[in-house]
Amino acid sequence: MSTLLLTHTASSLNHKVSEGHPERPDRIRAMEKALSQDIFKPLVREEAPMGDIETVKLCHDESYVDEIREMSPKQGIVYIDGDTMMSPGTWEAAMRGVGGANAGVDAVVSGKAQNVFVGTRPCGHHAERNRAMGFCIFDQAAIAARYAQTKHGIGRVAVVDFDVHHGNGSQDIFWADPTVMYCSTHQMPLFPGTGATQERGEHDTIVNAPMHPGDGGTIFRQAFEGVILPQLQKFSPELIIISAGFDAHWRDPLANIQLDEKDFGWVTKKLMDVADKSAGGRIVSVLEGGYDLQGLHDSIVEHVSALMGH
């Protein structure tokens, strides 16, 4: 089995942002450079298809989806909020992100691939049911989890988020759902301000392990081994979706947890161990943050290498 990389480069690059914005098209170029190395030659690469509007509505209100579609500009950039924007290419990029994640679910459920890395942008985990924020339009990871349940009848799905920012959108979407576990390590205090330990959801299926600035890899690993992995094992997911943000890397300009790329390889292998026990090894990983291009490059190398079993 090999990891199936689903990406549609043209559409991901066509989501334009304002000058100096950290969530820029060069992030995709850094990913492509990372995955052009010889070690990744066995990767099966497929274009991410357009997502289906109906699957987006599994997690987002219909009125919100319609509003985003109507806001899509013919030219220039439209601001949804102070740091979240749309250009003429954003709608397709966001919908291919959704389609890529859902196609990833299809691939692991059918046995076509063991694991999938969805390398698209914009990222998604801050997008709430009816609100875009934090560079995010639609929550691809959350949608993929719901899609796995509705299309394939998977019962329990875990969404595990190691982006340095808390995935308030994913938490919002799954707050009252006993069938999806959302787990997150993230820096606090930091945008968006959610993710305290006591935020546990209505069924104790929200697991937050906030970290302090400067904590580093040892504390990160302790948070997973002491808090997140035991809860995941108890939940026994049939599929794991990763919100794979690499902005906790020490080089990243937006935060200060001070991880290095080896930490991302380590946590990926730990999640693969959980998946092996209860999910038939099935993991779909969706790119979220990571804004220093070298840090992103190095972290993707470690993460995807681990997913390939190296």
The pLDDT of residue 34 is above 70 = yes
The pLDDT of residue 1 is above 50 = no
The pLDDT of residue 8 is above 70 = no
Confidence band for 5, pLDDT divided at 50, 70 and 90: low
- Which one-letter amino acid corresponds to residue 304? V
Confidence band for 7, pLDDT divided at 50, 70 and 90: low
End-to-end Cα, the chain, rounded Å = 13
Q: Are 299 and 132 in contact (CB under 8 A)?
A: no
Residues 197-209 have pLDDT tens digits of 999 999 999 999 9
Q: Are 240 and 275 in contact (CB under 8 A)?
A: yes
Give the CATH number, domain containing residue 149.
3.40.800.20
Pairing assessment for the beta strands 78-79 and 180-187 based on DSSP bridges: unpaired
DSSP state for residue 163 in the 8-state scheme: S
Q: Are 135 and 84 in contact (CB under 8 A)?
A: yes
Mean pLDDT of the chain: 96
Residues 174-219 have pLDDT tens digits of 999 999 999 999 999 999 999 999 999 999 999 999 999 999 999 9
**What is the span of the domain harbouring residue 21?**
3-308
The pLDDT of residue 116 is above 70 = yes
From the list 8, 60, 125, 126, the catalytic residue is 126
166 is catalytic: no
pLDDT score recorded for residue 9: 62
Q: Identify the weakest region by mean pLDDT among 8-22, 124-138, 279-293.
A: 8-22
The pLDDT of residue 74 is above 90 = yes
Q: Are 124 and 169 in contact (CB under 8 A)?
A: yes
Residue 49: how many other CB atoms lie within 10 Å: 16
Tally of domains within the chain: 1
The pLDDT of residue 236 is above 50 = yes
Euclidean distance between CA atoms 296 and 210, whole angstroms: 22
pLDDT score recorded for residue 10: 76
Across 102-122, average pLDDT: 95
